Chain A
Amino acid sequence: MKAFARAVWIVTRKDILIETRTREILLTTVFFALACVLVFAFGFVKEGRPMEDVAAGILWIAIAFSGTLALGRAFERERQGETLRALLIAPIDRPALYLGKLLGILILLAAVEILIVPLVALMFQAALFDHALLMIGLLAAGTVGFAAVGTLFAAMLVRARSRDVMLPVLLYPITVPVIIGGVRGTAALLAPTADLAMARLWLSMLVFFDVVFITLALWTFEPVMTE
Chain B
Amino acid sequence: MNKFFVPITVIAAAMFAYAPFMILNAPYEATMGLVQKIFYFHAACGMAMFLAAFVSGIGSAMFLFTKKPSADRMAVAGAELTVIIGLIVLVTGPLWARKAWGVWWQWDARLTSTLVMWMIFNAYLLLRRYGGPGSEKLAAAVALFGMANVPFVYWSVNVWRTLHPKTSVIPSLQPGMRGPFWFCVVAFLLVTTAILMLRTELEKRRQQLDELYLMAEES
Contacts and interface: CB of A to CB of B under 8 A. Distances in A.
Contact of A161 (B112, B130, B152): B130
Chain B interface, DSSP helix/strand/loop, else mixed: helix
A220 interface: yes
A160 B148 contact: no
B152 A170 contact: no
A45 interface: no
B126 A166 contact: yes
Chain A interface, DSSP helix/strand/loop, else mixed: helix
Nearest to B66: A223
Interface residues of B, number: 24
A149 B135 CA distance: 17
Contacts, number: 66
Most chain B CB within 10 A, of A149, A157, A216, A223, is at A223
A188 to B, nearest CB: 15
Contact of B145 (A149, A160, A169): A149
Interface string A200-227: 0000000000001000100010011000
B142 interface: yes
Interface string B89-130: 000000000000000000000001000100110010011001
Contacts of A169: 123, 126-127
Interface residues of A, number: 22
B145 A216 contact: yes
A156 interface: yes
Contacts of B7: none
B134 interface: yes
B137 to A, nearest CB: 6
Given A166-B127, A223-B64, A224-B64, 7 more contacts: A156-B137, A159-B134, A160-B134, A160-B135, A162-B131, A177-B152, A223-B137
Interface of B: 64-65, 112, 116, 119-120, 123, 126-127, 130-132, 134-135, 137-138, 140-142, 144-146, 148, 152
